Structure 1
Amino acid sequence: MPVRVITADDFGVNFVNKSFLTSGRDEYTVRFTQNPAEKHRWRPLTFNEVETLIKNGNTCTNWNTFLVEDPFTPSLIKNSLFAGLVRISSLTECYLRYHDFIVPAGITNSKIISCDIGANCAVHDCAYLAHYIVGNTVILSRIDEMAATDHAKFGEGVIKDGEDEAVRVTIDVMNEAGGREILPFADMICADAFMWARYRDDAKLMAQLKKLTQDSCDSARGYYGTVGDNAVIKSCRIIKDVRFGEAVYIKGANKLKNLTIRSSAAEATQIGEGVELVNGIIGYGCRVFYGVKAVRFVLGNNCTLKYGARLIHSVMGDNSTISCCEVLNALIFPYHEQHHNNSFLIAAMIQGQSNMAAAATVGSNHNTRGNDGEIIAGRGFWPGLSATLKHNCRFASFVLLNKGNYPAELDIPFPFSLVSDNLRENCLDIMPAYFWMYNMYALARNNDKFKKRDKRKTKMQKIETEVLACDTAGEIMHAMELLEHIFETAWTAAGNQPESARYLLTHKRDELKKLPLTAENIEHSARPVKILHGVDAWYAYRDMLVWYGVTVLAKYIDETGSDGEVFSRSGVCSRFNLQNGTIPWVNAGGQLIREDEYDRLRNRIGAGELTSWHAIHAEYDRLWERYPFDRAEHAYSVLCRLAGVSVLAESHWRTYLDEALRLNRYIEAQVLISKKKDYTNHFRDITYRNRAERDAVLGHVEDNAFVQQSKQDAQHYAELFAPRRGSTLVE
């Protein structure tokens, strides 16, 4: 568009093209709803005030459209230009301080075009400030350009009156080639993005989600940008179509365009030096610093982007941190950590509580003729140093990938496993239940670690952080079935008569341990896939299910005050439906929901029963409230399945409690043993002059905070199990 010459009379007016104004509306209609005059007592300037303003070097295209609110001190406005309808709330002689940055209230060396300025704001050296409603006690300092357009959408995936569908902002998560695009909106959480991206075959659902998003925003043109109370924006270059929450702190940004930045006094969001953010939603309490580039994105609450990270076409869940690296077309659930400047995460859905090591390349290596591959990983995914994956891959929860260039697609169904690329023997090695057997410290610390990192005040996205939960328990049961098939196959391959896996595990355990175990349909290659310590892993999996079932059920009985006839016909367990134990669970952005309940929710949305995102979020809340019962019901059915019964009797419960007490001691011991490995390694000591220096730096293993916590947890569980074990329950 060429540069046009306009007159002073046209400067600051006609914000909205008249062709988009319906009868009874003008360019200020929307503005007046955003900042109603009823909340203020604006008045025209007096002759003396105009004279003072002019003497102070100020100019205005029309002083009659310059309104103020008492008390008003005109001497605090200097060397500035005003155009259009300008409304300034009370302005008195005072100073605003943010940390060590102190500025006087007033307006100096700035151009203000059709804005509302709140009480006692400091607006200094703002070369172009247009069509913004600024809250009270706000600092705006040294900003090259800050403006809103009449079609501003503030990062949301909507279109305004008269706009073409092509301008709608979409985010292509999970797949570089598209096909899973979602529309961002201010209240979006991971659960919303997951539903939208995952269930693409549900045409009614897709249409309804798009409609809900479009309907969530007024399509009328003329919305002004807003800056919340007590915000600080300084030393920035270009700001366009951005909605700032209260108490936000922006410093040194290069470009902020088409954004909603949510912030509050309790959860202030901070945007730092050198960042360029376009087409995005930023949640409460986020921190974005030091050269970050993000385009088409959603950040959950309490997220951090820093040190030059690139985030494009991605949704990042609450309590996550990404530094230095490149993340493209990703759907990331809460508690993701990625800190190193040479890691890539591309075209993937990572289901949270995950960590990517340096030089890890998850994605970007396509095995098809197009860039349409995908990777899906369950909770706790941890690709190690220089781990490189090819599309397509799928991983169960809490899979640790050893360093390696994995040459083909992978489908790892074994949770809590260690996967290694064995170049010496040209095979893929999998050790199921690795964490339970050899790294209990990391496993037991998981829940405590993430709860401490949760600094959110606004917790819209519900998150399950327990390692053993309904999703992982289901994966464990499936993995045990796979191992049983592997045992039976290996037994007959060795020339033996066919036997059931349960018989072999009971009567031929030692012989079974000596057999080579291989799995099929794990890697898309001709090389073998070896299962390491498979028999021990099966028993470890069983122990994990017992621990899950007993702890969940014991807590539920304790919390519901159901001591007494727990297993009687009228007891708490009589309400459990055993069949529900076979129902899969969905990880909906961090919240675990029974699949049948989730399907019902999707059907209700598709049928138009839920008419807003607020209503959908209320359903998430309702399902979260009933989650303790659903989880206890699932735990009960798992224990029944392990016992081979349809109803859990007191005798079974006592047996399980005895096992749980044994496992409680095992977990406590293994936490110390696994952590102690860091202290008993000779090479751990070589950088220290003596043991005393090492202890001064590292401390004693017994004094480790989580080792101490594990002892307290063990005592807690012992006290939880003991009364249940000794109670007189009626069968």
Structure 2
Amino acid sequence: MPMETYRVLTEDEIIQLKSQSCLADDWSHVFVSSNFKAGYVHHTRFSGTVKLGSFDGEFTLAGGIRKHAGLRHVTLHNVTVGDCCCIENIQNYIANYDIGEHTFIENVDIILVDGMSSFGNGVSVAVMNETGGREVLINNKLSAQQAYIQALYRHRPELINRMKVITDHYSGKHASETGTIGSHVTIVNTGAIKNLQIGDYARIEGACRLENGSINSEKEAPVYIGYGVICEDFIVSSGSRIDDGAMLSRCFVGQACHLGHNYSASDSLFFSNCQGENGEACAIFAGPFTVTHHKSTLLIAGMFSFMNAGSGSNQSNHMYKLGPIHQGALERGAKTTSDSYILWPARVGAFSLVMGRHVNHSDTSNLPFSYLIEQANTTYLVPGVNLRSVGTIRDAQKWPKRDKRTGTNKLDCINYNLLSPYTIQKMFKGREILKELKRVSGETSEIYSYQSAKIKNQSLNNGIRFYEIAINKFLGNSIIKRLEGGNFKSNDEIRARLKPETETGRGEWVDVAGLIAPKSEVDWLLDGIEQGSIKRLSDINSYFADMHQNYYTYEWTWAYHKIQEFYGLNPAEMTAKDIIKIVNMWKEAVVRLDKMIYDDAKKEFSLSSMTGFGADGSREEKVLDFEQVRGDFESNPFVMAVLKHIEDKSALGDELIGRISPLT
């Protein structure tokens, strides 16, 4: 409310307030709105400059009890209170805060800003390396992509320096000696709140201590902070929920995250849709959809995204020599099974599954969709096998549905594609690696060695086959999508349509914490930051958003230039006959892959899977019990979706073949 809309108290109002056990160091420093009613202010002490709105309206609480807006049993020092607020039973005081409208505060120990505060902005988080060297300066606008650059591009010191300058400028701009509690906020049964910015519609209920942070709640995506929570040096983004005794220290919590059940984290970053329960995190970079639910699970000094940690998953970053200096990465979609263990440093390829204990520092980043299995202290690698796993496909389908972000501004750019230039380029490399191992060690070798891991002969040959199926599927998909809806009268028209609109996307692609983009575009942005032409956090996020928006344009450029490498065809000279040949190969790849997934799903309905069903009956009762709980195989929604996918994709390929076959 602007200053000119406030007035000083009348003599009658001061007398009435005094009669209601109110005190003031100086009544002339208490200002009120034009429709202020003194009857709703009891047992209140004022010091410094205090501004009060009207106290019209009521709050209906759980159980049906109603409380009228007003002040009761509270000390206010340098506080502005908006219209229709109810503040009561503050054990100590509220100092140096602007409080919005329709806010309810009850049974709180203390709320204050003590000196100049940037409210968590600019806090240095020692991510990935506990001893430092990869610090990320958190801020209200921090995206997964910004943090990725800060943490991992240390080989460009001028870039890191510029990012620090930009973040420091933002933190300085938002520093203040006065905190803000937004409108429609609820704070009840809470301990100490110190140096906090609290956004609109936040609910803080039973928290123990919240210190030096920002809760960036908004109407479309409110934040909830629950019982027993302790947070210090933190930022919580819109739509997130922290409850049930979670403890955070020097952490950033992204949009729509959920941390609870005594989860503890220090020096860690959690981006969109992460979930953490029961376990512990230390110095981790948790990219979008990093999920850990189990009490005995520790994630430490690693980078993850689209990851699910099994119970008892653990990593070591300390070899008892120079301290906890090691780090590792599980690329997007990697999973760990129960009781898995990885000794950092190590890097696990995208969409891979880690089983057992691995101590040999493998780097399987160029062999995605693999299993890493421990046998007798040896890591065995099964390349590409996860492409046929029903679990992998199910994960890819569930992530977009589980994006709970409802805010007006989505900070993180998230690409959900299972097959993309990022993963397919690795399959090209993986295919060459496997072929080279075969050439060097001989086709009849029983075991091949790669990156301190062992690959069995059959696994190697299957890996080559799996990667070729996936490459066929991706390139065929791209070509069919490109030629969709076109009525071509000549091969020249086909070639004209195939030609990309841009050369951007030709080279290497990177996964920037959920964003899949050409490295050339990322480098262009980083050059701009280094040179000072890009100097705002919001601009950095906008450029990443543009890359995300143009993904499919860049993807086609990459696919177009891979056609010659994989099929031996110059795309500038392709004919309808060549397209039909590729589409037939694509159809075969899609159907083969879907049938492998179908067979994998069928294992979930085998007789062995029915163990524990039909507790006291015959085999027939076991089957009936199983079907009542799990349904039968053919009517399973996922199985039906796989069969429909085979049908739809076959029809899509046949439609294109029918459209261009007159040109052959």
Cross-structure match for 2:88: 124
SS of alignment partner, residue 363 of structure 2: strand
Q: Do the aligned residues in 2 keep the contact of 1:417 with 1:434 (CA within 8 Å)?
A: yes
User: Structure 1 CA distance, aligned partners of 2:157 and 2:493?
Assistant: 46
Q: Do the aligned residues in 1 keep the contact of 2:491 with 2:575 (CA within 8 Å)?
A: no
SS of alignment partner, residue 195 of structure 2: strand
Q: 1:221 to 1:341 in 2, by over 3 A?
A: closer
SS of alignment partner, residue 48 of structure 1: helix
Q: Do the aligned residues in 1 keep the contact of 2:415 with 2:548 (CA within 8 Å)?
A: no
Q: Do the aligned residues in 2 keep the contact of 1:517 with 1:532 (CA within 8 Å)?
A: no
- What does 1:232-381 correspond to in 2, within 5 Å? 232-350=186-304, 352-366=305-319, 368-381=321-334
Q: 1:103 to 1:681 in 2, by over 3 A?
A: farther
For residue 77 of structure 1, the aligned residue among 30, 35, 41 is 41
SS of alignment partner, residue 575 of structure 1: coil
Cross-structure match for 1:92: 56
SS of alignment partner, residue 410 of structure 1: coil
SS of alignment partner, residue 114 of structure 1: strand
CA shift at 1:349, angstroms? 1.3
CA shift at 1:181, angstroms? 0.8
Q: 1:292 to 1:568 in 2, by over 3 A?
A: same
CA shift at 1:414, angstroms? 1.4
1:104 equivalent to 2:58? Answer no
Q: 1:567 to 1:234 in 2, by over 3 A?
A: farther
User: Structure 2 CA distance, aligned partners of 1:49 and 1:532?
Assistant: 89
Q: Do the aligned residues in 1 keep the contact of 2:494 with 2:576 (CA within 8 Å)?
A: no
Cross-structure match for 1:575: 500
1:183 equivalent to 2:137? Answer yes
User: Structure 2 CA distance, aligned partners of 1:346 and 1:121?
Assistant: 44
For residue 133 of structure 1, the aligned residue among 89, 95, 98 is 98
The one-character-per-residue Cα deviations of 1:303-324 (angstroms, maximum 9, x if unpaired) are 0101111111111110110111
User: Structure 2 CA distance, aligned partners of 1:300 and 1:99?
Assistant: 33
- What does 1:592-631 correspond to in 2, within 5 Å? 592-631=516-555
For residue 405 of structure 2, the aligned residue among 445, 456, 459 is 456
Cross-structure match for 1:14: none
User: Structure 1 CA distance, aligned partners of 2:101 and 2:522?
Assistant: 44
Cross-structure match for 2:426: 475
CA shift at 1:667, angstroms? 3.8
For residue 24 of structure 2, the aligned residue among 52, 55, 60 is 60
CA shift at 1:375, angstroms? 0.3
For residue 543 of structure 1, the aligned residue among 469, 479, 484 is 469
Cross-structure match for 2:3: 37
Cross-structure match for 1:505: none
Shifted more, 682-691 versus 453-462: the winner is 682-691
1:639 equivalent to 2:569? Answer no
User: Structure 2 CA distance, aligned partners of 1:563 and 1:549?
Assistant: 21
What's the TM-score once normalised by structure 1's chain length?
0.85
For residue 353 of structure 2, the aligned residue among 400, 419, 425 is 400
CA shift at 1:189, angstroms? 0.8
Q: 1:579 to 1:125 in 2, by over 3 A?
A: closer
User: Structure 2 CA distance, aligned partners of 1:715 and 1:66?
Assistant: 74
SS of alignment partner, residue 357 of structure 2: coil
Cross-structure match for 1:502: none
Q: Do the aligned residues in 1 keep the contact of 2:358 with 2:378 (CA within 8 Å)?
A: no
Aligned residue identity for 1:693: D
SS of alignment partner, residue 249 of structure 2: strand
Cross-structure match for 2:589: 663
The one-character-per-residue Cα deviations of 1:531-589 (angstroms, maximum 9, x if unpaired) are 6521122011100011111223323443xx555368648623223678954x2211112
Q: Do the aligned residues in 1 keep the contact of 2:234 with 2:252 (CA within 8 Å)?
A: yes
User: Structure 1 CA distance, aligned partners of 2:548 and 2:110?
Assistant: 45
Q: 1:715 to 1:268 in 2, by over 3 A?
A: farther
User: Structure 1 CA distance, aligned partners of 2:174 and 2:129?
Assistant: 33
Aligned residue identity for 2:375: N
How many equivalent pairs are there?
650
Aligned residue identity for 1:602: L
What's the TM-score once normalised by structure 2's chain length?
0.93
User: Structure 1 CA distance, aligned partners of 2:64 and 2:369?
Assistant: 49
Cross-structure match for 1:442: 391
Q: Do the aligned residues in 2 keep the contact of 1:556 with 1:628 (CA within 8 Å)?
A: no
User: Structure 2 CA distance, aligned partners of 1:557 and 1:52?
Assistant: 80
SS of alignment partner, residue 178 of structure 1: coil
CA RMSD of aligned residues (A): 2.2
Shifted more, 200-209 versus 95-104: the winner is 95-104
Cross-structure match for 1:508: none
User: Structure 2 CA distance, aligned partners of 1:543 and 1:563?
Assistant: 29
Cross-structure match for 1:490: 441
User: Structure 1 CA distance, aligned partners of 2:303 and 2:467?
Assistant: 26
CA shift at 1:152, angstroms? 1.1
CA shift at 1:711, angstroms? 3.5
User: Structure 2 CA distance, aligned partners of 1:592 and 1:139?
Assistant: 43
The one-character-per-residue Cα deviations of 1:212-244 (angstroms, maximum 9, x if unpaired) are 111224458644111111111111001011111
SS of alignment partner, residue 392 of structure 2: helix
User: Structure 2 CA distance, aligned partners of 1:228 and 1:626?
Assistant: 36
CA shift at 1:486, angstroms? 1.1
User: Structure 2 CA distance, aligned partners of 1:595 and 1:645?
Assistant: 26
Cross-structure match for 1:521: 451
SS of alignment partner, residue 533 of structure 1: helix
Stretches of structure 1 that go unaligned for 5 or more consecutive residues are 1-34, 158-168, 492-511
User: Structure 1 CA distance, aligned partners of 2:88 and 2:595?
Assistant: 63
CA shift at 1:367, angstroms? 6.8
Q: Do the aligned residues in 2 keep the contact of 1:566 with 1:573 (CA within 8 Å)?
A: no
Q: Do the aligned residues in 1 keep the contact of 2:309 with 2:337 (CA within 8 Å)?
A: yes
Q: Do the aligned residues in 2 keep the contact of 1:115 with 1:131 (CA within 8 Å)?
A: yes
Aligned residue identity for 2:332: R
The one-character-per-residue Cα deviations of 1:25-50 (angstroms, maximum 9, x if unpaired) are xxxxxxxxxx6436xx1111112211
Cross-structure match for 1:30: none
Stretches of structure 2 that go unaligned for 5 or more consecutive residues are 616-620
Cross-structure match for 1:688: 614
Q: Do the aligned residues in 2 keep the contact of 1:522 with 1:529 (CA within 8 Å)?
A: no
The one-character-per-residue Cα deviations of 1:669-717 (angstroms, maximum 9, x if unpaired) are 3333212211113252333242222211112222323223333433443
Cross-structure match for 2:600: 674
SS of alignment partner, residue 449 of structure 2: coil
Identity within the alignment, % = 20
CA shift at 1:628, angstroms? 0.9
Q: Do the aligned residues in 2 keep the contact of 1:578 with 1:637 (CA within 8 Å)?
A: no
User: Structure 2 CA distance, aligned partners of 1:100 and 1:148?
Assistant: 34
Shifted more, 458-467 versus 548-557: the winner is 548-557
CA shift at 1:385, angstroms? 1.1
Shifted more, 544-553 versus 665-674: the winner is 665-674
Cross-structure match for 1:507: none
CA shift at 1:113, angstroms? 1.0
The one-character-per-residue Cα deviations of 1:428-474 (angstroms, maximum 9, x if unpaired) are 2111111124x2x1122232200110021232211111111111111
- What does 1:502-517 correspond to in 2, within 5 Å? 512=443, 515-517=445-447
Cross-structure match for 2:577: 651
The one-character-per-residue Cα deviations of 1:36-93 (angstroms, maximum 9, x if unpaired) are 436xx11111122111111111111111111111322211111111111111111125
The one-character-per-residue Cα deviations of 1:283-311 (angstroms, maximum 9, x if unpaired) are 11101011111111111111010111111
User: Structure 2 CA distance, aligned partners of 1:95 and 1:171?
Assistant: 40
